[in-house]
Each structure stands twice: as C-alpha cells, then as structure tokens.
Structure 1
Amino acid sequence: MTLLQFPADRRTADIRRCAEALQNIHGEEANRFWRSEMATFAEGFRARGVDEDEIRYQAALFMHAVQMELQASFFESIDASA
C-alpha cells in the first residue's frame, strides 16, 4: 500500500478546475479534456511509484469528487435563478 500525502479527492483546486472546464465544454472536446487530465493524473502517480490498483482507486475518488463538484455547481445555479 502506498501512502499518499494528498489523496486525489482532497485536491480541491484540481477538482474545481476540472469541474469548471467541463461546465464550459461538451461532447468530444469534453472527452478529450477528460482523457488528457486522467492520463496526466495517472502519469503523476506512476512517476512516484504508485501501483496500478492504487492509481485506479485514486482516479475513481477524483472522478467522483469532480462529479460532486459539478452537481453542487448545478444546484447553486438553480438556487441563484430562483
């Protein structure tokens, strides 16, 4: 098991950055953005010697955190327009 100083779901600046980007792009552009982000994400962990199972786990945490940020932003926009 690898000890991570900053678990993926706690990287709030990266989570917000990705969520904001995904709010403004759609379709294939969004797919390319996300694939690029996740490739960079995985490479960062590999460079630190993290095993593939842990990388997948951290990627799932990160993806979930981005989804939660997108949902929170959506609900904030609904409240603001009400």
Structure 2
Amino acid sequence: MTIVQFPADRRTSDIRRCSEALANLHGEEANRFWRQEMAGFAARLRAQGVEDTEISHQAALFMNAVQMELQAAFAAQEEAGALG
C-alpha cells in the first residue's frame, strides 16, 4: 500500500485552479486541458512510486473534487444572478 501525503481531493489550490480553467474552456480545448492535467497528475504520482491502482483512486477523488467545485461556483453564480 502506498501512502499519499496530500490526498488529491484536499489539494484545494489545484482543485480551484482546474475548476476555474474548465469554467472558461469549452469543447476540445477543455478536453485537452483536462487530459494534460490528468497526465501530469499521474506522472507525478508515478515518479513518487505510487502504484497504478492508487493513482486511479486519487485521480477519481481529484476529478470528483473539481466537479464539486464547478457545481459550487455555478450555484453561487445562479444565486448572485437571482439576487442581482
């Protein structure tokens, strides 16, 4: 078993950075950005000796956290629009 010092779903600055980028990208540009992010994510973990199953688990946690951040941002925009 590999221990990950900072679980992917708690890397708030990376989560916010990705969600902000994805909120402003569309189509193939968004797909390209996400593929590059995930490839770099996996490469960094692999270089630390993390096993593929743990990389997949951490990637899923990160992806879910980014999705939740996107949803929260959308909800905040909707609320601000309703109040404005």
Number of the residue aligned with 1:52: 52
Gaps in structure 1 of 5+ consecutive residues = none
1:7 to partner: Cα distance: 0.3
**Distance (Å, rounded) in 1 between the aligned partners of 2:39 and 2:57:** 14
Paired amino acid for 2:7: P
Report the counterpart of residue 28 of structure 1 in structure 2: 28
Listed as ranges, the matches of 1:8-23 within 5 Å are 8-23=8-23
Gaps of 5+ in 2: none
Question: Separation in 2 of the partners of 1:54 and 1:4?
Answer: 9
> Once the 2 structures are TM-superposed, how far is the Cα of residue 4 of structure 1 from its aligned partner?
1.0
1:42 aligns with 42
Hey, which bits of structure 1, 4+ residues long, moved more than 3 A? none
